[in-house]
Amino acid sequence: MDKDARYAKTHEWARKEGDLIVVGVSDFAQSLLKDVVYVELPTEGTVFQKGDKAADIESVKAVEELKAPVSGEVVAVNNALEDSAEAINEDPYGEGWFMKIKPSKIEEFDELLSPEEYEKYVATLEH
């Protein structure tokens, strides 16, 4: 778990990097997906509202959606995932990041769960 990140109940993480928000899926989410084989990332310049579908994640088990944890514009995407989606499984908080968003409503970041709140939430799902 990334102690500097905030989390959505839909299992995305968001971490401040300057005035941008870096987004990915949590370790819990990647462990449920198992082997991620493909991701479909948004294009730079795409604008999302919080909760919008932002990317598709295809694993050997299923296709899941990554939801935008904050509203804003995509200013960078991790194109390396197109060739090596396994980084999502191997390093979800590092090399497995999906996109960087310039937030339009920074207060949405503060509404996300803290690492401790997210851990408690995930614990309720595992029983």
Q: Does domain 6-112 have CATH number 3.50.50.100?
A: no
Q: Is the pLDDT of residue 97 over 60?
A: yes
What is the rounded (10 degree) CA torsion for 34, 39, 45, 49?
-40
> What is the rounded average pLDDT for all residues in the chain?
94
Nearest residue to 98 via CA among 4, 36, 24, 21:
24
Q: Is the pLDDT of residue 61 over 90?
A: no
Where are the chain's structural domains?
Answer: 6-112
Whole-prediction pTM: 0.93
Burial of 68 (0-12, 13-18, 19+ CB in 10 A): buried
Please tell me the predicted confidence (pLDDT) of residue 127: 56
Query: Do residues 88 and 64 make contact, with C-beta atoms less than 8 angstroms apart?
Result: no
Owner of token pair 């949405």 = 108
